[in-house]
Amino acid sequence: QQGGEEVSVYPTATNDFLFVEWQNKPEKASEMTIFNLLGQPVSSVLTLQESTNRVSVGNLQKGIYILRISSEKGMFTHKFRVE
Protein backbone atom coordinates (compact mmCIF):
# COMPACT_ATOMS: atom_id res chain seq x y z
CA GLN A 1 0.00 0.00 0.00
CA GLN A 2 1.26 3.43 -0.89
CA GLY A 3 0.02 6.95 -0.44
CA GLY A 4 -0.52 6.80 3.30
CA GLU A 5 -3.84 5.41 4.47
CA GLU A 6 -5.93 6.59 1.51
CA VAL A 7 -6.93 3.07 0.48
CA SER A 8 -7.03 -0.33 2.20
CA VAL A 9 -7.12 -3.65 0.37
CA TYR A 10 -8.03 -6.87 2.16
CA PRO A 11 -7.64 -9.79 2.63
CA THR A 12 -4.09 -10.52 1.44
CA ALA A 13 -5.05 -14.13 0.64
CA THR A 14 -8.40 -15.07 -0.89
CA ASN A 15 -10.11 -17.40 -3.32
CA ASP A 16 -13.13 -15.26 -4.20
CA PHE A 17 -13.16 -11.52 -3.43
CA LEU A 18 -10.88 -8.61 -2.56
CA PHE A 19 -12.24 -5.53 -0.84
CA VAL A 20 -10.95 -2.06 -1.73
CA GLU A 21 -11.88 0.54 0.87
CA TRP A 22 -11.25 4.28 0.51
CA GLN A 23 -10.72 6.50 3.55
CA ASN A 24 -12.05 9.45 1.50
CA LYS A 25 -13.41 8.19 -1.78
CA PRO A 26 -12.27 9.99 -4.94
CA GLU A 27 -14.67 12.30 -6.75
CA LYS A 28 -13.95 10.59 -10.08
CA ALA A 29 -13.96 6.91 -10.97
CA SER A 30 -10.73 5.00 -10.47
CA GLU A 31 -9.11 2.35 -12.61
CA MET A 32 -8.04 -0.92 -11.06
CA THR A 33 -5.79 -3.39 -12.86
CA ILE A 34 -4.57 -6.78 -11.64
CA PHE A 35 -1.19 -7.98 -12.91
CA ASN A 36 0.50 -11.35 -12.64
CA LEU A 37 4.13 -11.49 -11.47
CA LEU A 38 5.29 -11.30 -15.10
CA GLY A 39 3.76 -7.83 -15.27
CA GLN A 40 0.96 -8.92 -17.60
CA PRO A 41 -2.51 -7.45 -16.95
CA VAL A 42 -5.01 -10.22 -16.17
CA SER A 43 -8.03 -8.16 -15.13
CA SER A 44 -9.17 -4.56 -15.28
CA VAL A 45 -12.07 -2.65 -13.71
CA LEU A 46 -12.71 0.91 -14.81
CA THR A 47 -14.84 2.16 -11.94
CA LEU A 48 -14.32 2.03 -8.22
CA GLN A 49 -16.83 4.65 -7.15
CA GLU A 50 -18.00 3.37 -3.79
CA SER A 51 -16.31 3.83 -0.42
CA THR A 52 -15.95 0.02 -0.23
CA ASN A 53 -15.70 -2.03 -3.42
CA ARG A 54 -15.89 -5.81 -3.77
CA VAL A 55 -13.67 -7.14 -6.57
CA SER A 56 -14.09 -10.70 -7.83
CA VAL A 57 -10.82 -12.63 -8.20
CA GLY A 58 -12.32 -16.13 -8.18
CA ASN A 59 -11.62 -16.55 -11.91
CA LEU A 60 -7.84 -16.12 -11.43
CA GLN A 61 -5.50 -19.08 -11.16
CA LYS A 62 -3.80 -19.73 -7.84
CA GLY A 63 -0.77 -17.50 -7.37
CA ILE A 64 0.47 -14.06 -6.40
CA TYR A 65 -0.84 -10.92 -8.09
CA ILE A 66 -0.33 -7.17 -7.92
CA LEU A 67 -3.35 -4.86 -7.70
CA ARG A 68 -2.79 -1.34 -9.06
CA ILE A 69 -5.33 1.41 -8.46
CA SER A 70 -5.03 4.68 -10.36
CA SER A 71 -7.17 7.58 -9.15
CA GLU A 72 -7.13 11.34 -8.83
CA LYS A 73 -5.55 10.73 -5.40
CA GLY A 74 -2.57 8.89 -6.87
CA MET A 75 -1.46 5.38 -7.66
CA PHE A 76 -1.68 2.58 -5.10
CA THR A 77 -0.34 -0.96 -5.32
CA HIS A 78 -1.08 -4.03 -3.23
CA LYS A 79 0.18 -7.61 -3.46
CA PHE A 80 -2.29 -10.43 -2.82
CA ARG A 81 -2.53 -14.19 -3.21
CA VAL A 82 -5.26 -16.30 -4.77
CA GLU A 83 -5.47 -19.67 -3.00
Return the pLDDT at 42.
Answer: 95
Residue 11 is given by DSSP the state -
Q: What is the pLDDT along the chain (83 residues), one digit of tens a residue?
A: 444 568 899 999 999 999 999 888 778 878 899 999 999 999 987 666 788 889 999 999 999 999 999 888 889 999 999 99
- Separation of alpha carbons 38 and 25, rounded Å: 30
CB 41 within 8 A of CB 31: no
